[in-house]
A and B are shown apart, each in its own frame.
Chain A
Amino acid sequence: MSKEMTCIVCPMSCMLHVDFDGEGHICAVSGNTCPRGDAYARKELTNPTRMLTSTVKIHNAPYDRLPVITSSDIPKGKLFEVMEALRVVEVSAPVKCKDIIVKDICGLGVDILASRSMPQVD
């Protein structure tokens, strides 16, 4: 069994060819022009993760939404679960960039951080 995928590590966008053995384990990656392509293919096919950015509701601020970001990447399959959890979060200004907005979101061991500061306005 095999799979084709585009490497996204750099703009070269190499077309990667991944071969699997009978049990579905990766046995070879080819088509990459540097070692980073090999590492990317293995990570993406075994444990794909993404950084998530979104917004939460904020009160007494110049805008109604505060942009937030995960403190590190989370499993790709958990994106919608985290979005759902953020839907009910409300905070009040002032907020500093990198303040923890939600600790250990969905039990993933990852925090939700403010991705900008917002002053208080009345």
Chain B
Amino acid sequence: MRTIELVIIGGGSAGLASAISAYEHGIKDILILERDKELGGILQQCIHNGFGLHTFKEELSGPAYAERYIDKINEYKIEVKLNAMVTHLSKDRIIEYVTPDEGYVTLQAKAVILAMGCRERTRGAIAIPGYRPAGIWSAGTAQRYLNMEGYMVGKRIFILGSGDIGLIMARRMTLEGAKVLGVAEIMPYSNGLPRNIKQCLEDFDIPLYLSHTITRIEGKDRVNQITIQKVDERFQAIANTELTFDVDTVLFSVGLIPENALSEEADVTLHQKTKGPIVDETYQTDVPGIFACGNVLHVHDLVDWVSLEGQKAGISAARYLNHEVTSGKTIQMVAGEGLGYIVPHHINPSNVEKSIECMFRVTKTAKFVELVVKRDGQVLKRIKKRHLAPAEMERIVLTKDELMGCNESIRIEIGEVTL
């Protein structure tokens, strides 16, 4: 059985960035396992621009952003296996995968970086009654068909969910000649970026139905009609608010779930809120030598932060392989009032060089508030925020000094309005 220093599962934005940084930190024996026929992951189907503003200070399309990383992988001659589906991962880092060329292969990794990304939630996940006709797609699948394979999935479209993928697809299908009759969002606000609401919906007079959801899908062989209804504050449909639309296609853009089947098989503990692994300051999971980064860890809204996280995980894996990661006292990171979660979930200060960036999401929108950081129950610092929203990942930096003075936990919560 072949032994490899570092195996990266997934060749998307997180996997590519982690491979490059591990290589640049001295690890040369790296293998990337990618199930698609080329590297780049979901970026390859995201042909709209706006990627890379933070990383490259310019706006790139998804494929152009991916290409910058793929060029580096080629320059460093990092080994890549395409069409390689990982079927098993054990807690002692034995990996089994299949490819058309090699068949069934087993190998031993000294370290593994999980970079499998996430999956779209489906119609099944939100239980809408009706037949199961053709014409129902997750927005991302329709995006791949249209942008990479060249197939339009329908002519009269309704979209459920106003996250960015749904909004981007509303514009894309409209530009390609389809009629998008509307977008329904169960929440009273959209989780998409304001610029996407403006440039994808308002530019094309596509109505956005807030506090609405699809309650009925009609059609036996192919969708022919849907019904939407207004919902109350408990998301229950309100009677006599029905609106019907004659459509041949429904796109679902109803959230993303980290894809952790392999992680679970390797006994990696997952977090209830993020649905991704629980990690420490080195992005290491609770299984030694197995690291995680990108959307498999927690769902991001900007690819730039995925790349940055991949970069950090790559450096950590290199340090782990060089026996530079120490064990010791850990501090629990606690998501207080108004926060959904914090990544990393716990921190050993002795592995932090100067400072560490913690990422989190808030549970509701807020303007002109302060974030309160409490160390062992005492206020450590207050940070003013003009704007917080669940759709936008927030970051906060803790210095080594701030961590060293901590015994048990650091809690971040939303404080008073500060106008």
Q: Does B386 contact A (CB under 8 A)?
A: yes
Identity of the chain B residue whose Cβ is nearest the Cβ of A76 in the assembled complex: B203
Instruction: Give chain B residues whose Cβ lies under 8 Å from the Cβ of A6.
Output: 194, 197-198
Instruction: Give chain B residues whose Cβ lies under 8 Å from the Cβ of A116.
Output: 44, 61, 63-64, 66-67
B387 touches A55 (CB 8 A): no
Chain A 7-48 interface residues, beta-carbon cutoff 8 Å to B: 7-8, 11-13, 33
A53 touches B392 (CB 8 A): no
* B94-102, B145-153, B206-214, B356-364 - the one binding chain A: B145-153
Of the four ranges (under 10, 10 to 19, 20 to 34, 35 or more), the interface on chain B belongs to: 20 to 34
Instruction: Give chain B residues whose Cβ lies under 8 Å from the Cβ of A62.
Output: 37-38
Offer 22 A-B interface pairs, CB within 8 angstroms, sorted by A.
A8-B193, A8-B195, A8-B198, A11-B387, A50-B203, A51-B49, A51-B59, A53-B47, A53-B61, A55-B47, A55-B146, A63-B149, A64-B148, A64-B149, A65-B150, A67-B47, A80-B175, A97-B67, A115-B60, A116-B63, A116-B66, A117-B67
Identity of the chain A residue whose Cβ is nearest the Cβ of B177 in the assembled complex: A83
Instruction: Give chain A residues whose Cβ lies under 8 Å from the Cβ of B177.
Output: 83
A97 touches B199 (CB 8 A): no
Could you tell me the distance between the alpha carbons of A21 and B243 in the complex, rounded to whole angstroms?
Answer: 40
Contact A57 B175, CB 8 Å, known A6-B194, A50-B199: no
Which of B48, B176, B203 gathers the greatest number of chain A CB atoms within 10 Å? Answer: B48
Could you tell me the distance between the alpha carbons of A62 and B44 in the complex, rounded to whole angstroms?
Answer: 12
Contact A55 B49, CB 8 Å, known A67-B61, A80-B175: no
Q: Does B261 contact A (CB under 8 A)?
A: no
Which of these, B64, B146, B199, B392, contacts A115 with CB under 8 Å?
B64
Contact A8 B199, CB 8 Å, known A53-B47, A69-B49, A115-B64: yes
Map CB proximity to A onto B146-171 as digits: 1 under 8 Å, 0 otherwise. Answer: 11111000000000000000000000
Could you tell me the distance between the alpha carbons of A122 and B146 in the complex, rounded to whole angstroms?
Answer: 22
A11 touches B194 (CB 8 A): yes
Chain A residues in contact with chain B, CB under 8 A? 6-8, 11-13, 33, 50-55, 57, 62-65, 67, 69, 76, 79-80, 83, 97, 115-117
Instruction: Give chain A residues whose Cβ lies under 8 Å from the Cβ of B404.
Output: none
In the complex, the 3 A-B pairs of residues with the closest C-beta atoms, listed nearest first: A116-B63, A67-B47, A115-B61
Beyond the given A8-B199, A51-B49, could you list 9 further A-B residue pairs with CB under 8 A, ordered by the A residue number? Answer: A7-B194, A11-B392, A55-B47, A55-B146, A63-B148, A69-B61, A97-B64, A116-B64, A117-B67
Identity of the chain B residue whose Cβ is nearest the Cβ of A67 in the assembled complex: B47
Identity of the chain A residue whose Cβ is nearest the Cβ of B59 in the assembled complex: A51
Which of these, A11, A55, A67, A80, contacts B389 with CB under 8 Å?
A11
A12 touches B386 (CB 8 A): yes
Which of these, B60, B66, B194, contacts A8 with CB under 8 Å?
B194
Nearest chain B CB to A111's CB is how many angstroms away? 15
Instruction: Give chain B residues whose Cβ lies under 8 Å from the Cβ of A63.
Output: 148-150
Which of A12, A65, A76, A79 gathers the greatest number of chain B CB atoms within 10 Å? Answer: A65
Nearest chain B CB to A51's CB is how many angstroms away? 6
B63 touches A115 (CB 8 A): yes
